[in-house]
Chain A
C-alpha cells in the first residue's frame, strides 16, 4: 500500500488542503506550527477512520478529536486519501470523522464502493494490511518519542519488540499480561492452603462454615420435629391418664355418695329404733358365772366307776400259786436240730448208696491185653507154611519130583507172606526168621534146581535152621498158653479169646463205678460218724447230759422231751406277770372309784348351792336342779342377746353420726352425690369406672402417681421444645446462606480455572510467537545491519525467549547485547526491527508504508545521515513518509531524494486559527494542494 495523497477537507487548521506523497520516500518538512502533526494525524485517520459507536468514545478518541477537529467548524471533520494498493487497485477513501456517516472507499477505476472489504463500523483501510485502527499506528508509525525511548533506555528496544510481538504494539507485552494475570490470581483467588487468607480459601471456609451451619440447622430442625412429636405423645398420654383418673374418681365419688346415702338411711333407722342408749346387764354376771360353773361341773362330773372281775385279794392269792421260771431250753435249740439233721442226712446218704457195690456180670478176672496175648500164643497159622518148606526141601533131596521152575519163587513169596503175617500177628522175630529162611530156601532151591548142587541144599538147610528153632519155641509157647487158658477157665480158641478181650474192654466202666462206690461208702460212713459225734457235742453244749454210750438220736429225743417240759413250766411262770399287772390295775381302779364318788358329791353340792341362789329348792335330785339352772341360764341369755344387739346398733348409730345428726348425714350424702355428678360431667360414660377386685384408694393413688409422672414428662417435653424453639436456626436461611457460599466458591473456582487456563494459553502463545518471530527479525535486520552500522556489526541474533537482541562485532567476532550498543546504533537497529516487525505483522500481501515523525531529532550529524540513508534504501520496498523540522534532514533530502520516486514537501507556518479567518471550502470545491516546494 502506498498513499498517493491526503486531502484535509476539514481537519485541524486545514480546509481543503492536499498533501501529495511520492511512492518512495517523502520528507515533509516545516517549522513548528506548520501542521506536521495535523498532517500526520490526517494521514493516519484518512486510512483508518474512527470507530463508530454510541457515546463519547474512548479517551484516546476523545483526545484525538479534541486536538484535530476543525478549529472553526468542529461539527465538520473530514479527510480523504488516495491509496494505491499493491494489488494494483487505486482507492479513494473518504472519512467523515465527525458524523461517521459519509465514509466510504471507492475503487477509482471501477467507481465501485469497496467499503465492505474494510468495514469496521466505518471503512478502515488498515484492514487491507491485516491491521486495525489501533495496531496501524503502532505498526507503521514511528515517532520521536519512541526513538528517544530507545535511545534513552537500554531495555526499550527489547520491550518494544515484545510489545509488538504481543499486541502489535498497541497494548502490553505478553510478559506484562502474564504478570498482571498472576498478580490478579493472587489477589482475586489466592492460594488454597489451610493458612491462606485469599478469596478462594475464604470462600472454602465460608462454604465449610455454611454447610456446617446448615447441617446443624437440619439436625436441630429434625430434633425440633421429634420433640414436637414427643410432646404431642406425652400430652396424649397424660390426657388419657387424666381421663382415666377422672373417671375413676367419679366412679369412686358415685360409690361414696351411694354409701353415704345408705349410711344416712341406716342411721335414720337406728335412731328411730334407739332414741336412747340401751340398758346394761352387767349386774348379775357373777351369779350367771356361778350357775354356769355349777352346771358345767355337773355336766362334766365323772361317771360312776363300775368294778368287775376278781378283787385285789383274790389276785394276790393266784399270784402266790404260780411256779418259778425253768432252767434250760424251753424249745430245741437250732444247733441241736441242725446237728440232728446232719446225722439224719448222713444216714440217709448211706442208705441211698446201698450195701452192694455195682459189679459186671461173669467178667473174668483178667484184663483184655492178657486175653489178646494169650490168643496170639495159641495161634499156629505160620507153622503149615514151614512144613511146606520142609516138604519141598525133602523133595529136593530126592524124595520128590523135579523141581518146578516157579517153585523157588513161590516159596520165597510164601515165606515172605508168612513172615509178614507173623510179624502182623506179633510173632516178630519168628516172622522175620520165617521170611529170611523162606528167601534163602527159595534161593537154595532155585540154585539146586538148576544145578542139582548139594551145596545149595546144605545152604538151604542152614538157612532153615533158625526157623526151625523158632518154630519149636512157638510150639512150646502155644502149649503153655493152652494150659494157662484152661487153668483160667478160658477157651483155647484164639478167636474166642480175642472176642472176650473186646468184651472185657467194653465192661471196664463198670469196674470204675465199683471202685467209686467203695470210696463213696467209706466217705459216707466217716461223715456219719462225725455227725453223730457233733450231735453229742451239741447236746452237751446246751447243757444236756448225755448218758455214756447213749446213741445220739436217742439222746436228742430225750433233749427234745426235756425242752417240752421246760416250755410248759415257762408258760405257767409267765402268768405271774399278768397277775401282777391285773393286781395293780385293780388297786388303781378301786382308788379311782373312791375319788370319783367324792368329786360327784362336791359337784352336786355346788349344784344345790347355785339352785338355792336362783331360788330353786336345792333338795331336789341333781338332774332336776340342773334343768332348772339351764332354764334360768337360757332365759338370761335371751335377755343378754337383745341387750347386746341394742348396744351394737347404738354404737353403729354413733359411728354413723360421728358426732353429727341424721340430717347432717343426709346433707353429706347429697353433697357427695352432687360432687360425683360434677366429676362425671364431660366424661365419657365408659371412662367412669373402677376395676373390679382392686382397692379403690390404691388404684386411685396409682393413677394419680401415673398422671403426675406423665404430666412431669409432658412438662419436660414442653420445656425442651420451648428451649429448642428459642434457639432453632432457620433451615431455609441456612440453606440460602450455604447456597450463597457455594455460589461464591463456584465463582472463585471458575475464576481460578479461567485465569489458570488463560495463563497457560498466554505462556504457550508467547513462547510460540517468540520462537517464530525471532529468526524472522534476525534475518530482516541482518539485511541492513552492515550498512547502517558502517560495517561495525555484521550479524544480529534475536533470543526467542524474550526477544533480546544481540549483534556480532565485525572486528572481534564477539556477540554483544544490543542494549549495550551506542544510542545511534540502537536507533538504527530499532528502525530496522520496526520495519521487520511491520513485515511480520502485516499478514496480507500488502506492504505497509512507514510513517516517521521527527525520528532523527536526537541523532548527531553522521548518525542522522546514516539513518536517513537506511530509510531511503528501505523506501525502495515500501513508502516512507518522514515528517521533520530539522534543516539537516531537509538538506539531506534535497541532496539525496529524486523525483518522481521521492519528494520533499515544505510546509509553511499555519496562520492563527479562529472563526472567520479560516473559511472552509465546500467539499465539492477542489482542495488546495500542498505542492512540494523543492524537488529535484
Chain B
C-alpha cells in the first residue's frame, strides 16, 4: 500500500514581515503546494493522501480557501484522510463540519483514536483536535480492538523533540515515542513539528512550503510504502512552491550607503523568491545604514527583508572616549549608563552623527 503524507500546510497563515502583495503571493503558494501534493499523489497513484493536521488556520481561513479545499479534494480520485490539528481544530463552526465534503474525503472527528479501514487487515487510526489547546495525548492507554496492521494519523507532539523544534512550540497532544509501540501501532504519521523527522515508528513530514526564514531540513511530502508485514519505506519529495533564502551580507569597509546597497544587491542578485538579508560587519563612520532604502532593492524578488545583524560602528569609540571633549564625555557616559549593547550603539552613533553635523540621525 502506498500513502502520501503531508502536514502543517497552514493555509491562510499571515506573514507579518511581508508587504501585502508578498503575503498574498505566499498564501497563494500554499494553495499551489497543495495542488502539487495532489498531483504527486496522482502521479504516484497512492492509495490515500494523509494530512496530519494544520491544513489551514481556523481563525483566519477565508471562504475562498474553504471553497478551494472543497473543490480541490473533489477533483481527485484519491482518498483524502484528514486529522484536524490545533490550528484547524474541529468544532461545530469548523469548515470540517460545515462543508459538504466530497465522498473521497474522510475526516476524523473524535478526540480519541478511531478506526478507518484502509485495506483489508490494515486500519488507520486517527484523531482530531477539538480545541486549539489542551488536547491530551492520543496514544496513552490505547489498544486496537481488532487484528491486522495498525497505522495512525494525528497532529501530536513527541515530547523529546520539543527541545530542538522551533521556539514557542506548544506540546499539543503530547506523547512519548515508546507509547506508539505500546499502543500496538506499527507506525504513526504525524504533524505539528515543522522540522522533518523520520523516526523508527513515526514520521514528521515538516511543513511542505516554507513558513519562516531559516527553515532547513528536507521538508515536503512523504511517499510511504507500507509493506504487508508492516515495514515502512519513506521517500521525501519537495513540493514547495515558495523559495525562501536567508543570507548574510558583510559590509566591512563600506564607506557609504551605496557600498551597502551594492553588497546587498550582489548578494540577492542570483536569488529568487523571498530573501532575508542580515547585514553585519563594520560600517565606516560616515556611512549610513539605511535599511529601509536597502529593503527597496530586489525588484526581481517576491519579498525582501533586510535587518541589521552584528553591525559594528566604524568610529574608534575607544579613542573618542579618551577625548576630553563633550564627544568623549558623551561616549563615556553612554558606555557607562546604557547597558544594552544595541541601544548603546544606537545612542552613541546618533550622538556622534549629531556632533558631526549629519542629517541621518536614525540609526538602524
Contacts and interface: CB of A to CB of B under 8 A. Distances in A.
B327 A761 contact: no
Contacts of B24: 733
Give the contact-size bracket for chain A: 35 or more
A768 interface: yes
A841 to B, nearest CB: 6
Given A177-B354, A181-B351, A730-B62, 13 more contacts: A164-B325, A166-B325, A166-B326, A177-B351, A177-B355, A232-B99, A732-B13, A739-B17, A753-B343, A755-B350, A758-B351, A761-B347, A765-B326
A113 B229 CA distance: 79
Contact of A181 (B60, B255, B354): B354
Interface stretch (A97-105, A222-230, A458-466): A222-230
A735 to B, nearest CB: 4
A229 B323 contact: no
B1 interface: no
Contact of B356 (A127, A171, A224): A171
A55 B60 contact: no
A277 to B, nearest CB: 63
Central interface residue in A56, A120, A167, A764, by most chain B CB within 10 Å: A167
A172 B333 contact: no
A166 B63 contact: no
Nearest to B17: A739
A133 to B, nearest CB: 11
A180 B361 contact: yes
A725 interface: yes
Nearest to B256: A55
A546 interface: no
A171 B63 contact: no
5 contacts: A55-B255, A229-B93, A231-B98, A757-B343, A765-B327
Contacts of B17: 739
The 5 closest A-B pairs by CB, nearest first: A739-B16, A765-B329, A177-B354, A225-B93, A765-B330
Given A53-B284, A57-B255, A733 B362 contact: no
Given A54-B253, A181-B361, A229-B92, A769 B14 contact: no
B59 interface: yes
A238 interface: no
Central interface residue in A171, A218, A768, A840, by most chain B CB within 10 Å: A171
Interface of A: 53-58, 120, 127, 130, 132, 135, 164-168, 171-172, 174, 176-178, 180-181, 184, 188, 218, 221, 224-226, 228-229, 231-233, 725, 728, 730-733, 735-737, 739-740, 743, 750-751, 753-755, 757-758, 761-762, 764-766, 768-770, 772-773, 840-841, 843
Nearest to A751: B362
Given A55-B256, A737-B20, A761-B333, A769 B361 contact: no
B198 to A, nearest CB: 31
A758 B333 CA distance: 10
B325 A841 contact: yes
Interface of B: 12-18, 20, 23-24, 27, 57-60, 62-63, 92-95, 97-99, 253-256, 259, 284, 286, 316, 319, 322-330, 332-334, 337-338, 343, 346-347, 350-351, 354-357, 359, 361-363
A841 B95 CA distance: 75
Contacts of A135: 323
Contact of A769 (B286, B324, B343): B324
Given A221-B59, A761-B347, A754 B327 contact: no
Contacts of A231: 98
Contacts of A757: 334, 338, 343, 347
A135 B328 CA distance: 13
B286 A733 contact: no
A732 B330 contact: no
A228 B93 CA distance: 7
B316 A132 contact: yes
A228 B95 CA distance: 8
Given A172-B355, A728-B62, A232 B15 contact: no
Contact of A54 (B255, B338, B354): B255
Contacts of B363: 754
B324 A765 contact: no
A176 B361 CA distance: 14
Contacts of A758: 347, 350-351, 354
Nearest to A233: B92
B24 to A, nearest CB: 8
B337 A761 contact: yes
A765 B336 CA distance: 12
B216 to A, nearest CB: 24
A226 B23 CA distance: 26
A754 B329 contact: no
Contact of B15 (A120, A736, A768): A736
A890 B202 CA distance: 96
Contact of A731 (B60, B254, B319): B60
A165 B324 CA distance: 8
B16 A725 contact: no
Contacts of A132: 316, 319
B324 A841 contact: yes
Contacts of B346: 750, 754
A174 B347 contact: no
A41 B334 CA distance: 35
Given A225-B94, A765-B330, A765-B333, A53 B59 contact: no
Contacts of B57: 732
Contacts of A55: 255-256, 259
A55 B354 CA distance: 24
B361 A188 contact: yes
Contacts of B337: 761
Given A132-B319, A218-B59, A732 B326 contact: no
A56 B258 CA distance: 12
Contacts of B355: 166-167, 171-172, 174, 177, 762
Contacts of A180: 354, 357, 359, 361
A171 B326 contact: no
Contacts of A166: 325-327, 355
Given A165-B326, A768-B329, A761 B94 contact: no
B323 A178 contact: no
B97 A229 contact: yes
Contact of A841 (B13, B323, B359): B323
A762 B351 contact: yes
Contacts of B13: 732
A232 B99 CA distance: 7
Nearest to A127: B319
A63 to B, nearest CB: 15
Contacts of A764: 329, 333
A733 B351 contact: no
Contacts of B12: 731-732
A732 B322 contact: no
Nearest to B292: A747
Contacts of A218: 59
Nearest to A747: B362
Contacts of B59: 218, 221, 731
Contacts of A736: 14-16, 18, 20, 23
Nearest to A179: B354
A124 to B, nearest CB: 10
Contacts of A761: 330, 333-334, 337, 347, 351
B98 A232 contact: yes
Nearest to A120: B316
B361 A184 contact: yes
B10 to A, nearest CB: 10
Nearest to B284: A53
A512 to B, nearest CB: 113
A656 B363 CA distance: 102
A735 B60 contact: yes
Contacts of A769: 324-326, 328-329
Given A732-B13, A736-B14, A755-B361, A226 B333 contact: no
Contacts of A127: 319
Contacts of B16: 735-736, 739-740, 743
